[in-house]
Structure formats: C-alpha cells, structure tokens
Structure 1
Amino acid sequence: MKELITRWLERDPDPATRDELQNLIDAGNEQELTERFSGRLAFGTAGLRGIVGAGPNRMNRLVIQETATGLGQYLQQTVPQAKSQGVVIGYDGRPDSKTFAHDAASVLTAQGIKVYLTVTVAPTPLVAYGVTALKAAAGIVVTASHNPPAYNGFKVYWGNGAQIIPPHDKGIAAAIDQAAIEPLELMDLNEAGNQGLLVWLDDEFYNDYRESIRQSALLQNYAKPDPISIAYTAMHGVGAQMAETLLADAGFTKVYSVAAQREPDGTFPTVNFPNPEEPGAMDLVIAEAEKHQAILACANDPDADRFAVAVRTPEGQYKMLTGDQVGVLLGHYLLTRVNPETSLVGTTIVSSSLLQKVASRVGADYYQTLTGFKWLTNIAMEKQREDSCFLFAYEEALGYTVGNMVWDKDGLSALLAFAQMTAELASQGRTVWDQLEAIYREHGLYLNSQVSIALSPNSPPIGDALRQQPPEEIAGRNVVRIDDLKSSTRYKADGSVETIDLPASDVLIYFLEDDSRVVVRPSGTEPKLKCYYEVVEVIDQVDTLEHAYQRAQSSMDELVQRHQNSLTGLTDRS
C-alpha cells in the first residue's frame, strides 16, 4: 500500500488532497489509509459517486482526470466520430463540481475531443437535453444529486441522451483502470478554446431548453393558470431560475420561491439531507405555501432531475403525494392530451401497478423495466414505433420524464406538467385530490410501501435461500405467480413456466391471490435488502375514500409485518 500512496501523491494535482493524505500518513491513521486505498470507486451505469477526499476510493481531481481519460479513450474506440461530435459537460452547485467539470474538459480536449461546457451550474436534465440537441457522442454531469454535502459524482450519458447501460459501463471502467496507470494529459481551457476544441454553453443554450419546453405539445395547456398559487424550493440546488422561468412562461404568476433555499449552496445549510423524500426536507416550502395559502408546495432536488409536491387538502393542511401518486396522476393526465392508442408509457418493477391499469383502460401501450431511469429511457427507445410514440415514464423515487425531449428524469418539465394539470382541474372546479380519488374509484386504491433491511456484510445471498424454498403463501395469501428475474423465469401456480423479457437481475416478485405484490431486491451498492409491497383495495360506490384507505393500510401493515417475520433467520441483520 505504501507504493500506492507514494504514487498517488506524485500524481495528485490538488494541493488540498495531497495535504489531507499527508496528514493521514503523519498521524499513522492506518485504518483510514487502508479504507481509501483498498479499492477504487467503482464505475457503473450511474457513473461514479462517493465522498470527496484523497485516495482512489474517494471523489477528487485525480479520480476525475483518470475517469475522464478512460471515458475519452473508450469513446474513441467505440464511436467513429467521437472527436468531432464531442461531449457535453455540466455541473451542479457543490464546492468541487466546477473544478471537476473543468478537469474533465481539460482531459477530453487534450485527446482532441470537442467539449461543450456550461458557463455556470446547470440542471442535470439540461445536460441530457444537450447531448441529443447538439448530437454529441456523450454527456457528463458532475453532481451528487440529492446526496449529503460530503458527496460528489460523475454521471455519464451516451449519445442517445440516456444514462449508460451495459456493456458501456464495463468498457469505460476497464479504460479507467488503464488510465490510472498511465501518464495523464490535460489541455489548458484557453488553449482548447483557441483551437476550437472548447465551446462554452451560455445563455443561448439554456434558452434553447426553455424554448423546447415552450414548444412541447404536451406542455401547451394554458387552462387558467393565473389563479394557481405555487410555493417552490430548489433545495439549495440549481433549479430555481429555470423552474421560475418555465412557470412564468406558462402563465403562472403566483409563484413563491423559498428565499433561503433558492441559490446553489453545496453545504445545504437548511436541510440535513437534501432529498425531498427525507423527513423535514420539505418543511420550508410547506411553510412558504402556508404563508401564501398556495395550492401546491413543490420541490426539485439539488440537480433538478427529481420533483416532489405537497398539495393543500380541503382542510387547509399540506400532504405529500408519493412518487407513485404523482406518476399515476401525470400519466393519466398526459394520456388525455394525446391519442392514447398511439402512446407508450412505462414504469419500473418496484413502482405501482396502477399506471398499467390506467394505460390498459384507454388502449395505450405499457412497458415495465428494471429499477432505474437508465432502463426506462433506453427500453422506451427500443419499444417506441410510429404507431406507439413514447409519452411518459416514471419511477417511484420521484423521477419523471414527459415526452422525448429529455431521455432522463426531468424535474423541471414534471413541475410544469403537474402545475398545468392542477390548473386544468381547477378550471373544472376540481382538485388534485378529487382526481386521485376518481382514479382510485375507477381502478382500485393502490397502496405501496418499502422496507429496507440492513444486513451484515458477510450475509449469505438471501435470494438463493428464498429460491430454495419458494413460499406457497405470504401473510395468509396464496402465491399465484413468482417472477425470478435472476433466471428470467416466471412460475405460475398451475405449474406452467414462461420466459421474462428483462435483463437478468437478483430480484424476486411474488404475486398474491388478492392482487397484492411483494418484491424482494438486494441493494446493488450496500449490504441491504429492499422489500417493496403493494396492496389493492376496491372502492364501492357507497364507500368513502377514508374507509378504503383504512382498509388498505390495515392490509398493508399485516402484509409487511408477516412477510418481514418470515425473513427472520434468512437474513443476517447488522
């Protein structure tokens, strides 16, 4: 390890991380040194993400330079016109993001690859948009999204504008490993500009995205937007200026931003965890909504690719919608804006099944993918046809994409679409809650929940144990079908077997006789087992929504408790 550390100190271009590492050496902190040098941040389909600091197992300038070198070399090996097509680079408001983005640009231009670099911070969906708009070979966003302040990341898009999927992740990772043992070449950005290898993406680029939103046929609904009042927070991220602009363009005049969270600040001083799903993260925007009696309290996460919303109830309180509820509401609304019989919508295996029911009722095509927006968009491109145009996709973790302008989740267009849906409902004398109840009454009340179990690092694979003894019932409900995505096999209660058309993944899905569902999925990044639950409650005409919720929640509580108890003994919990 001593040789690795010495070599790292020789290559590291950053005095701050060199000093950090030298202090660890001087203090004799073997445990910390071992942790930082025992491996390298793994490059995968989500790129890189990790704590900022010295060493190959951290995010720092040397890791960024080696990663960009590997990416550039892989692009030249696989994309014939990579140099002239170029790479779009943007970054968020975290302290190191601009430096990391400029380092990546210096590396790529040194390889003769053209770079389009944003002049300032940019929402992640703008970079995804830029890849296809500029016909680039790839895109990079330096962002850790909604992770805590200590983190940063390096997200990669392929030339189709979607996040990378296999085999590109492994090909890039191998090229990075090679780059880590070779000399690094960088070009001064001024020189890159003089040679025509660097193009700065200025206001014109940001306005191109804005204009594309304005021209989107799906976002042309101007049904009395003026009465709709909206509280908004960028959560110390990069979304505020564009979000406010798009809402103003669409006629929303009563928009109130949370001033304390409006400007980019990677230290996130007012939130413990800058993720709208976390308890307390929406407190300030809900307080702003209460101050103005706004109908909606909306948030983007710090890189503006996710969207969250709390809606004022008839009693004047604010209640968060789940990611599934927002997804179903948007999917239902957008299907009324087009010919549904020529439309394609999709979601993931752990999201609510309700969107499929909504799509089926109106004759729309529906597809389902593994967890992650990289699958939702790449598969959508494969499945869409002239008579089945991609319309909408979502995942339960607050990710939505409206139309094919951005082939990734886009919290800005989702915000606008939700505001326009709310305005249309209001023009009819209805609320978001009225619409959600109408959908539930037509298709059933779908309730979803998730439980994560922390496991010991040495726990045996729980999926293998479950496959050895497949349950015949869960919580007293007969299992009528098991989808084993590891073997791509569907087992039905009648003994028949089918092949599943999804990439292999260590996931088991149990379908129960009462339309309930249990999904068991080990985390791919940490020792954790994730269990996703769904129950469906029919609402009679004389039934109240409140009573149906109570029955559904009671059913959910029983399902979760009994299933979790059944896992005792199979999981070595930490």
Structure 2
Amino acid sequence: MSDLRRSAEEWLAQDPDPGTRAELRAILDGGDEAALVARFGARLEFGTAGLRGELGAGPNRMNRVTVMRAAAGLGRCLPPGGRVIVGFDARHGSRRFADDTAAVLSGAGLRPEVFADPVPTPVLAHFTRAFDDVVAGVMVTASHNPPRDNGYKVYWADGAQIIPPTDADISAAIDAVGPVDALPLGDSWPVHDGADLYLDAVASLNLGPSDPDLSVVYTPLHGVGGEVLLSAFERAGFAAPAVVAEQAEPDPDFPTVAFPNPEEPGALDRALELATARDADLVIANDPDADRCAVAVPHDGGWRVLTGDEIGALLAEHVLRHTTGPDRLVATTIVSSSLLRSIATAHGVRCTETLTGFKWIMKAGKPSDRLVFGYEEALGYSVGDDRGVLVNDKDGITAALAVAALAAQARRDGRTLPDLLDDQARQHGLHTTTQLSVRVDDLAQITAAMTRLRTDPPTRLGGRAVDSFDDLAHGIDGLPPTDGLRFRLSGHARVVVRPSGTEPKLKCYLEIAVPVHGDITTARARAAAELDALRSDVAAAISGPPPRSG
C-alpha cells in the first residue's frame, strides 16, 4: 500500500462525515492516484489568515476532520476555562464546522458560544472584543472565495486577527493533535441570538447626520450582510436601501455571479441595473461575509465604480473631520495609495503603513496612538470616531454607513463624491492606482516569477527609471519580513508584487501620482495613459525577462 493510500485509510477511520467518507472511499476503490495526491500530497497550512481551501476529504481540503484538528490545536493555546465566541457564514458546511469547533473546545475545558444563525464577520470580531472574559473568536468563512471553498479565521481577545508568533504556536499545536475520533467532545453550549450588541455600537458612532431622502441600492451578493446592514441603516435614520432581489438571500452557490467578490468584473451589474431604474444616489455592495464594501456613484450619465483607494481616501477625510486630537492615527498597507499620508499630514495626524492584511493594520502605531481609521485597497475599511475604530478588523457594514453619511453631506452641499475626489486631487495631486492579478494553476509559477524578479529586477518600468528596489523578504522600514517586492520609480510611481495570501494569484499593485494644473480631466487622462504603460511593462516583467527600456 502506498503512503498516500495508508494516509487515506487512516483518515477514513476517524472521519465523522459520511459525505467525505464516501468521496474518499470512491477515490480509493477507483484507484484515482491524482485525486489522492491532490488531497493527501499536501495539507492546508494554518497561518495568520487561519485556514482556507476547497471543500473535500483529506488534509489539503476543508472538512470536519481539518476543522476539528484546528479547534483542538487552538484549544491547547488558550487558557483553561476561557470563553470563545464562534460565528459562521452561510457557505456549505459552515454551521457544521462551527458546531464541531464548539464541541472540541468544550471537550477541552473551554467555554464556547455559537451564534444561532449566520452572521457577518465584523459582528463576530466585535463580539470577541466586547467582553473581558473572551479569550478568542472563530469565524467560519471563506469570505469572497468561490462557492467550493470554506475557511476558518481566528481572532484573539482584542478582536483582531492573529499574527506571528501566535499563528505558528497554533499550527504546531494542530500538528500534535492525534485522531479526532479520540478527542473528548462537549455536547451543549450557549447560543447567541442576533447582532444587537454590534448594531448598538454602530448606532453610537459619530459618522455625521443621516439623510432619509438618500436613495441607496444595496446587494449582499448572496451573503449574510443584508439583514444587519438594513438594521444599521434604519437605526442611523436612513431610508431602507433597495436590495437586489436575486441576491438578497444567503445562497452558498452564489448563482448570479462568477465570483462572489465585488471587485470582480460583472459582480455589481445587477445592482447597477436596479440603481439606474430607480435613479439612485448610491450603490453599495458587501462581499458574502460583509467585511468588505464596494461603492458606485452616478457619473457622466452612467455609473462610476470607485476603487478601494478612492473610497479609502474619502472615508479618511470624513473620519478626520469628525474626530479631534493630536494622538489620532490612520493606517493603511504598503500596497495601498500613498494619498492617505498626504491627507493625514493636512489634518495634522500620524499615518503609518503596514504589511498587507488587516491583522497588521490593527497592530499599527504606538501604544499612545489612537487608531481612528484603517483601510486596505481591497475594499476593506475600519471606521471609528473619537473612541477609536469600532471593529479591530475590516467592517463592510460601518463602512457602508459612513459612505452613506458622506454622500448625504455632499448632497446637502450640492456636490457629489466624484467632486470630493477632484478636490483631493487638486490639493494632494492625482493618485491613480490599479491592480494586475495573475491566477495560476501551479503555485510553482508564482515562485518562479518572484525568483526571476529578485535575481534580475527590471531597471525601467512604464518609461520610468527604477530608482530603488526593495526585497520585502528582508524586512524593510521596520516591517516584518514578507514575500514581496517593491519598486520605486522616478517621479511619483510605485509597484509592489506579492503572492496572494488566500488565492493562487500573483498580485501587482501599481500607483502613479501626477500634479493637477488646471483641468482635472486632462490630468486623469495623462495618469490613465501612464498607468496603462506601467501595467503593460509589469505584465511583461512577471511573465518573462524584465524590460530594460521604456
């Protein structure tokens, strides 16, 4: 018997799920070696993003055995008797995984509590932070991944995602877990009913006055954000958004979108159609677990979908106008627009840049800093007031409410969100950003591209000289080491290249800033042309020998 077949038989012996047992038995009986390699040739690695992967049997898939092992490892890293809050979204298997987590934690002497129904990720993150006796939180979700995936995120007592070395400690504890059918299991635990604690906190935020006449169209993209967002808008005094009917209810198959990610082309099409029919003022979308927020606004007879950096710049200005004090801090990541630093300087507050991921944004600054706003370009925002941010993670619901408050203020002033973006461009220069993502079937392609760029970096990109090249694996500017590369170009331009932490993608983040002298339209056209040239050269650099001339 091969080692893989032996591992599969051992897995079968402990698997409590008849579905994955049947899947694996069929693979073994059919002699499908390729399927065995796919499931047992590697395993899902537990890291700062927890676990995320395709559903199925084996250690390289999300399933009940994988989840129970993760819960057992987590339990060994928590103080005995500690309280753990467990939430889950509406994906396939999420509720079962949440109950398995509670059973394992209860059997390990902890005090788990599980939400009665699917909840948005920010609700779980807020609950984890809100109680002094909570030692950790678990959210079963794969966020905006394809329907076949699920995942497992761990929050610490501060309501933020775990960072090193906690992730490594939990991973090592998982490795030491034996067969899950030998784990002691609890059979009952308290249940949370509803999101009122979170909604009360959202209602207390100082985000500016509401406007009951603001017309908003909303889509939760078949996710779990709808009910909570509608309640948040009602409590804040806004009219109920018109919800895209075909996408209103949670559906783990996400039937109307190719990918349930508001960043993907076509994801907002139905929302934009409804907004056009209703002559709406604003379109808002959450991803399936509602920790991200997308925005579109009327513009030039059509609709303009704002980039994550544009939303981040607008929300930063809005938050800073509604907060006070020299100890305020705003934070973003090294792949987001540098415009935030200029905005912070204009308001007399500190700005810091972190590695990608909200787990790092929430750790930004010094103990004396008060983080009032954090964002990443991938549509993630944490909004606060003079008390600091409400949720120590990205929160698409409070972000949506803040965008609505900002749009309402602009409407009262006879202006639009694009007008406000133009104001920022005139004051700080026009910062234009875009992304280039390359999805691969073989992760070795990503490794090869990163190695090529490290050993023979380009000297020119987009017609600009590469002034400096940073290998972020060595730790730069006080940042922890990470697998990434940064190119600073002549003028004000920047490229960052890194592997995605959650998907088989190589991601490139491009920024060009140009001064605005006179007509803003001319400046935008110039920036767009320069960004296209930069994108073309970066695409060539990651796929083959780097360009040597512009």
Equivalent residues of 2:230, 2:240 under 8 A apart: no
Q: Kindly tell me: are residues 526 and 278 of structure 1, through their superposed partners in 2, closer, same or farther at Cα, counting changes over 3 Å?
A: closer
In 1, the alpha carbon distance for the partners of 2:453 and 2:314 equals: 35
Q: Does 1:145 align with 2:143?
A: yes
The CA deviation at 1:245 is: 0.7
**Which residue number in structure 2 is paired with residue 451 of structure 1?**
436
1:409 maps to 2:384:
no
Determine the C-alpha separation between the residues in 2 that align with 1:237 and 1:167. Answer: 32
Q: In structure 1, what is the equivalent of residue 374 of structure 2?
A: 393
**Which of 449, 462, 478 is the equivalent residue of 1:501?**
478
Residue 105 (structure 2) aligned to one of 105, 108, 119: 108
In 1, the alpha carbon distance for the partners of 2:542 and 2:288 equals 36
Confirm or deny: 8 A CA contact 2:160 2:362 kept in the other structure. Answer: yes
Q: Which residue number in structure 2 is paired with residue 212 of structure 1?
A: 201
Counterpart pick for 2:466 among 451, 476, 479: 479
CA distance in 1 between partners of 2:119 and 2:328 (Å): 31
The verdict on how the C-alpha distance between 1:22 and 1:450 changes in structure 2, with shifts beyond 3 A counting, is same
Structure 1 pair 314–463 and aligned structure 2 pair: CA distance change class (3 A): closer
2:154 paired residue number: 156
User: Residues 209-268 of structure 1, C-alpha deviation per residue, up to 9 Å, x if partnerless?
Assistant: 11111112x33x215x11211001111111111100111111111521112211111111
- Pairing partner for 2:508 from 509, 531, 539: 531
Distance in 2 between the 1:454 and 1:283 partners?
23
1:548 to 514, 519, 523: 523
User: Secondary structure, in 3 states, of the residue corresponding to 1:173?
Assistant: helix
- Residue 18 of structure 1: SS of its match in structure 2? helix
Contact 1:462 1:570 in 2 (8 A): no
Q: Distance in 1 between matches of 2:121 and 2:453?
A: 39
Tell me the equivalent position of 1:323.
308
Q: Does 1:199 align with 2:155?
A: no
**1:128-168 per-position Cα deviation (integer Å, ceiling 9, x unaligned):** 10111123111001111111111111111111111111111
Task: Report how far residue 84 of structure 1 moved.
Answer: 3.2
**TM-aligned CA deviation for residue 46 of structure 1:** 0.6
**Structure 2 residue aligned with 1:90:** 87
Given the superposition, is the C-alpha separation of residues 84 and 538 from structure 1 closer, same or farther in structure 2, using an over 3 Å criterion? same
CA separation of 1:413 and 1:7: change in aligned 2, threshold 3 A: same
CA–CA distance in structure 1, aligned partners of residues 516 and 215 of structure 2? 32
Match of 1:167 in 2: 165
- In 2, Cα distance between equivalents of 1:307 and 1:52: 26
Distance 1:458 1:305 in 2: 30
Residue 166 of structure 1 aligns to a residue in which SS? Answer: coil
CA distance change for structure 1 residues 395 and 55 in 2, over 3 Å: closer, same or farther? same
* 1:31 aligns with one of 26, 29, 34: 34
Superposed CA offset, 1:366-409 (max 9, x none): 000011111111225xx251xx3111010011100012221000
Distance 1:457 1:236 in 2: 30
**SS at the partner of 1:560?**
helix
Structure 2 regions of 5+ residues with no counterpart? none
Q: Find the aligned partners of 1:299 and 1:339 in 2 and give their Cα distance.
A: 30
Structure 1 residues 201 and 454, CA, compared in 2 at 3 Å: closer, same or farther? closer
SS of corresponding position for 2:481: coil
Residue type at the aligned position of 2:370 = C
State the alpha-carbon separation in 1 of the partners of residues 335 and 379 from structure 2: 13
What are structure 1's unaligned runs of at least 5 residues? 76-81, 193-197, 490-499
Query: Is the aligned partner of 1:124 residue 2:110?
Result: no
1:245 alignment partner in structure 2: 231
1:177-196 matches, cutoff 5 A = 177-181=175-179, 184-189=182-187, 192=188
Residue 514 (str. 1) matches residue 499 (str. 2): no
Q: How does 1:56-95 map to 2 (within 5 A)?
A: 56-75=59-78, 82-95=79-92
Q: Which AA in structure 2 matches 1:408?
A: D
Indicate the larger mover: 60-69 or 451-460.
451-460
Does structure 1 residue 277 correspond to structure 2 residue 277?
no
Using a 3 Å threshold, how does the CA distance of structure 1 residues 293 and 564 change in structure 2: closer, same or farther?
A: same
Preserved contact between residue 465 and residue 489 of structure 2 (Cα < 8 Å): yes
* Residues 1:431 and 2:406 are matched in the alignment: no
SS of equivalent to 1:335: helix
**1:404-423 residue CA offsets vs partner (Å, 9 max, x unmatched):** 22100000100000000111
Change (3 A) 1:227 1:70: same
Q: Deviation at 1:183?
A: 5.0
Q: What do the CA deviations read for 1:4-27 (whole angstroms, capped 9, x no partner)?
A: 111111100011111111111222
Shift of 1:548: 1.3
* TM-aligned CA distance change 1:353 to 1:43, over 3 Å: same
What is the one-letter code of the residue matched to 1:260? Answer: E
Correspondence 1:307 to 2:293: yes
Q: Contact 1:340 / 1:363 at 8 angstroms: preserved in 2?
A: no
User: 1 CA distance for matches of 2:130 and 2:419?
Assistant: 39
User: Does the CA-based 8 Å contact 1:70-1:173 persist in structure 2?
Assistant: yes
Please list the CA deviations of residues 397-456 of structure 1 after superposition, one character each: whole Å capped at 9, or x if unmatched.
110001222100000100000000111111111111111111111111111112234566
In structure 1, C-alpha distance between the alignment counterparts of 2:100 and 2:483, rounded to whole Å: 37
**Contact kept in structure 1, 2:14 and 2:179, CA below 8 Å:** no
Alpha-carbon distance in 1 for matches of 2:199, 2:325 = 26
Give the match for residue 405 of structure 2. Answer: 420
Q: What is the CA-CA distance between 1:290 and the residue it aligns to? A: 1.5
Bigger shift: residues 18-27 or 318-327: 18-27
When normalised by structure 1's length, the TM-score is: 0.89
Moved more, 21-30 or 109-118: 21-30
Query: 1-side partners of 2:143 and 2:186: how far apart?
Result: 28
Instruction: Summarize the Cα distance change of 1:354–1:173 in structure 2 as closer, same or farther, 3 Å threshold.
Output: same
Give the aligned partner of residue 56 of structure 2: 53
Q: Percent identity?
A: 43
